Amino acid sequence: MMGLTLSTFATQPASGSTVTDPITSDPVVTVGSDSDIGSLREEAAKIGILFGSGAIKASDSIDDGRPPNYLTDPDFARVLAEQFDSVHSENEMKYRFVEPQQGVFDFTGPDRLVKFAQEQGMQVKGHALITTCCDPQYLVDKVNDPAAFRALMTKHITTIMKRYKGKMDRWDVVVEPLSTMGGQGLQHTDFYNALGPGYIAEAFRIAHRADPTAKLYVNENLVESYPEKRKEFYDLVDGLVADEVPIDGVALQMHETLQGPPAGVIIEMADHFHAKGLAVSISELDVHTLDPVTQAQIYGDVVTEALNAGIRDISTWGFTDKHLYTWLPGAKPCLFDENYNPKPAYFAVRDALRAYGRKVQASP
């Protein structure tokens, strides 16, 4: 989520969309009080899903331009443990942060996050092995030497996967392989330039060999908003499945800006991938608006449709505006404010989880 702009993330449906109607249900907003806040973690457990938070920085480094180790804040750690049952890191597992020098790994942050999660009975997702950013110079220098580049990639993925075998149960293996707005196919990243489009399948196979027990995902953004990109994503993933690449699921980021996704598009995507035998997760949900009521409605509607689509793993991108990312000036995209008070968006998500639970209980 580094170096992006509002225009990149505005969720205006592209022309030619087959899913055009915006979500128009009433806002799922409850005016809560301290006595009835509840817990997203508890509500998720009742319906058998994971509800987690990503963007949890446990590293002491500030090389990514972010504050160090959020877990040193007792209120941050308390709310995280009370409200969520799954975590994944912010930047510290991306290539140049976890292996800043060739063969020299910095596992301080990931180890700390795993320890915290184990103490709190939480699951940990690995994020991320290959991204469009954050390649160290020693790797970039080998782009024109495919054999050397492949050797570095193999050592990197294998070392990380083996270290966290049994500790991180699922992984974002490749993040944002497609061009941002769609229509241009795969991004020409260092991995693409060195190894061609087959780098994705190679990465999955390396990861699977290193830890056959881990569930492996490809993670993509904006596919809910741009039909052409969505079609490209279908084609990419369908091709991996057809080639018997060991892929277990897809992670839909769901960074929403100004408006939510077109109604029905989450169900459409989930149906497509479930039919291929793949799991579907929402991996980085946040909502960038200037109006808290609109924000709450979008959060509630996205979670409701995801649950109705059979998605059983939902994570936000952070949970407090104290450590927000945003490309919309003035937006505060998280469920809790800077002082860890729940916002209308929080209650919308809580109520969506509760409503789904009632629906399940009422079904024959």
Tens-place pLDDT, residues 13-24: 333 333 333 333
Place of tokens 């702009």: 5
Q: Is 90 a catalytic residue?
A: no
Residue 317 has pLDDT above 50, yes or no: yes
**d(C-alpha 291, C-alpha 256), whole Å:** 13
What pLDDT score was predicted for residue 70? 98
Closest CA to 91 of 113, 121, 76, 119: 113
Q: Angle at which helices 227-242 and 199-210 pack, to 10 degrees? A: 50
Q: Which is catalytic among the residues 92, 202, 284, 305?
A: 284
Closest CA to 316 of 329, 299, 291: 299
Tens of pLDDT, residues 200-234:
999 999 999 999 999 999 999 999 999 999 999 99
Phi and psi dihedrals of 148, rounded to 5?
-70, -40
Answer whether 227's CB lies under 8 Å from 17's CB. yes
- Give the class (CATH, top level) of 31-362: alpha beta
Place of tokens 């409850």: 30
The strand pairing partners of 101, in sequence order, are: 104
Residue 257 has pLDDT above 60, yes or no: yes
Confidence of residue 364 (pLDDT cuts 50, 70, 90): confident
What pLDDT score was predicted for residue 109? 98
Q: What is the DSSP string of 177-194?
A: -B-TTSSS-B---HHHHH
What pLDDT score was predicted for residue 35? 56
Tokens standing for residue 192? 């693409």
Instruction: Indicate the average pLDDT of the chain.
Output: 92
Residue 166 DSSP symbol: T
The strand pairing partners of 53, in sequence order, are: 87, 316
Residue 305 has pLDDT above 70, yes or no: yes
**d(C-alpha 257, C-alpha 105), whole Å:** 36
Place of tokens 């987690």: 52
Answer whether 157's CB lies under 8 Å from 195's CB. no
Place of tokens 């966290």: 164
14-37 mean pLDDT: 42
**d(C-alpha 305, C-alpha 301), whole Å:** 6
**d(C-alpha 301, C-alpha 316), whole Å:** 14
Confidence of residue 36 (pLDDT cuts 50, 70, 90): confident
Q: Which segments within 78-160 are labelled E, that is strand?
A: 86-89, 123-130
Closest CA to 233 of 209, 214, 212, 250: 250
Closest CA to 342 of 69, 36, 71, 49: 36
**d(C-alpha 336, C-alpha 343), whole Å:** 5
Residue type present at position 198 = G
**d(C-alpha 144, C-alpha 213), whole Å:** 33
236-252 mean pLDDT: 99
Percent of the chain with pLDDT over 70: 90
Q: Which is catalytic among the residues 92, 99, 176, 228?
A: 176
Closest CA to 171 of 163, 180, 179: 163
Q: Is 224 a catalytic residue?
A: no
Q: Is the peptide bond before 128 cis (omega within 30 degrees of 0)?
A: yes
Residue 43 has pLDDT above 60, yes or no: yes
Residue 7 has pLDDT above 50, yes or no: no
**d(C-alpha 17, C-alpha 34), whole Å:** 42
Cα–Cα separations (whole angstroms), residue 61 to 137, 196, 221, 329: 19, 33, 27, 26
Confidence of residue 348 (pLDDT cuts 50, 70, 90): very high
Confidence of residue 363 (pLDDT cuts 50, 70, 90): confident
